[in-house]
Structure 1
Amino acid sequence: MTDLPGLDLSRFAAWFDGACPGQIGGPLTGRLLAGGRSNLTYEVSDGTHRWVVRRPPLGHVLATAHDMGREYRVISALRDTSVPVALTYALCTDPEVIGAPFYVMSRIDGIPYRTEEEIRPLGPVRTRAIAWRMIETLALLHAVAPAEVGLADFGRPEGFLPRQVRRWKKQLDASRSRPVPGIDELYELLAARQPEGTPATIVHGDYRLDNLLVGPDDKIAAVVDWEMATLGDPLTDLGLLVVYQRMDRLHEGPMASEAPGYPSETEILDRYAEASGRDLSDLGFYIALGSFKLAVILEGIHYRYVHGQTVGDGFERIGSQVEPLVVSGLAAIRKEN
C-alpha cells in the first residue's frame, strides 16, 4: 500500500475491515481526487470495489467547518428521498486512526462539470437540461421535511441569518493573514440589513454545479460535499449559487455557466421560484451573504496556503479571488446591481 497525504492506507484498512467486515477483498490503493479545496476526498480501491473517503484538511482547521459527523448524517438521512446522494458505509470519529475523523461512502460514477471546456462538447441542449436539473434538485432538497428524515435537530433555524453573519465574521477573524479592503464594511452591512428570512429547510451550504455528479444519462447522480449542510434559510443556497456563477466571469478561463445553452441568471432564478414557490424579492441580501461567506472561505484557504498546509494544485491563485467577491457583495447589499 502506498500512503497518501492525510490517509494511512494500512491503518484505514484495519479500521474499515472491522467496521464493515467482508468489504475489503485485497490490498488497497488510493488517490486524492481532483477538485475540492477544503475537505480532502480520496478514492480507495481493492482492485474490485471502490470507495470514497472524506476527511478534514491538513493543518489549520476552523472550528465547526469540517464536521465529518454532520456530513455523514445528512447524506445517510437523504438516502430514501428524491435527492440523489451516495450510499454511506461507516463513520470514524477517532482521530487516532488517520489523524482526523473521516467517513466512507460509495463511489458514484459521474462528472462534476466545472469549466466550459468540460461541458461544451455536450452541446447547448444537454447543457441546458443539466442546468435545469441542478435547479430542480435544489428545489427538491429544500422540499424535504427535516423531521421526516430524522433531521429535526440537525440545526437551529431560529436566528439563522444573524448567526450566519456572526459565524463567518468569526471565521474571518481566525484566518486573517493580510488586510482585505471592504470586507469589514460588508460584514457591518450584513449585520444591519437582514431580512425576516424564509422558513427553514435542509440547506446544502455549498451548492453549485461542480458539487453535483452528472451521470451518463445527464441526470444528477449525486449531490456531494455536504460539509456545510444544516437547517436554515434555503435562499442562502440560491444566493451562493448566484455568487458562484458571477465568479465565473472573474475566473482565469470560461466556466460551465458560460457554455452555450446554459440558462441566464434570470432564467435560473425564475426556474427556482417556480419549482419552490418562494419569494425572491430579498435575494440581494442573500447574494451579499454568499459573497461574504465565500470570501471568508477562500481567505481561510489562502491562510493555509501561505502556511504550507494545503494539498493539491492551484492554491496560489485563491487569494486573488477574495477582493472581487467583497466588491460584488457590497454592490448586492447596496442594491447597486
Structure 2
Amino acid sequence: MAQNAIAGAMAGIGEHCIMYPVDSIRTRMQVLSVPELEATVKNASKKQLKNNRNLWRGVYSVIVGAGPAHAVHFATYEFCKEKINKQLAGDSIIRAPDSLFEISNQVIASSAAGAIATFAHDALMTPFDGKFFLKLLKQRMQLQDSTYKSVRDCAKKVYTAEGIKAFYISFPTTVSMSIPFQSVQFATYEYCRSILDPEGSYNPKAHMMAGAVSGAVASSVTTPLDVVKTLLQTKGSSNDLEIKNCNGFKQAASIIYDRYGIKGFFRGFRPRVLTNMPSTAISWSVYEYFKWFLASDEGDKFVDRI
C-alpha cells in the first residue's frame, strides 16, 4: 500500500500541474456570469493564451491537495480491487485468463473499487487535507477577473465574506459526481488495458491509450454535474444576485436550465474532455511507472529510505 500511495501521489501532482491551464479555460467557460468568455476562448490565438499568465493562478492549491488525495485514492482502489477480484474469482465457474467472463469480473471489480475508493477518499480526506476547500480556491483563482493575490489571500477573503460554508457548499454535488466519474474511469481503464495488454505487464503505450479513453468516457458522461458544481463553487465571485444566492444542487441546476436549456449542462464540454483525456493518460502512465519502479529492487530501497 505504501508503494501504491507514493505512486498515486506522484500521478496526481503530475496530472493536475501539467493540465492546469486547460482546466482554467474549462472553469471560465462554465461560469455563467461571464458568458462572453466562451466565444473569447474559442477564438483565442496561441499568442493570447501564451500571454495569459493568470491561467496558472491557484496551481499551488492543486499541488498541496493532489498528492495526499491521490495517494489515498489509489491505495484504497488497489486494495479494494484485489479483495473484490478474489471474491468474484471464488464464485466464478469460468476462470480462463482470456475469457469474457473474467474480463467482466475485472470491470465489475474495478468499478466497485473505484466507487469505494472515491467515497472513502472524499469522506476521510475532506476534514484533513481540505480537498473541497482547495478546489474552491483553485476555481476562484482561475476566473479571468480574479483579484486574489495568492491562495492564502483568496482563502482569507472568501472566509470573511461567505463563511466556512462556502468551502463545502458543493460537497454533495462533488461526491455525487466523483463516484460515477471514478467508477466509469477505472472500469473503462481496466477493460481497455485488458484488451491492449492481456498479459498485464508494464506497457507504457497501453497505459497511456487506456487512460486517454477512460478519461474521455468518464468526463463526457459527468459534464452536467461538473457544470452545476462549478456554478456552486464560483457563485461567491458572481455579480448576478440569483447565482450569488444559490443554495444547492437543485437551485443551481434550475438556473442553468432556465437560462440555457439542456445545452447549458454541457458548457465547457470540449475543454473538459480535452483536459481529462491527456490528464488521465498522464495520471495512469505516471502511476503505473512508479508502481512498476517501486516494485523493483531499486524501488524497494527507495521506499525503505523513506
Fold match by TM threshold 0.5: no
Q: Normalized per residue, which structure has more helix? A: 2
Give the TM-score taking structure 2 as reference length. Answer: 0.27
Q: Normalized per residue, which structure has more strand? A: 1
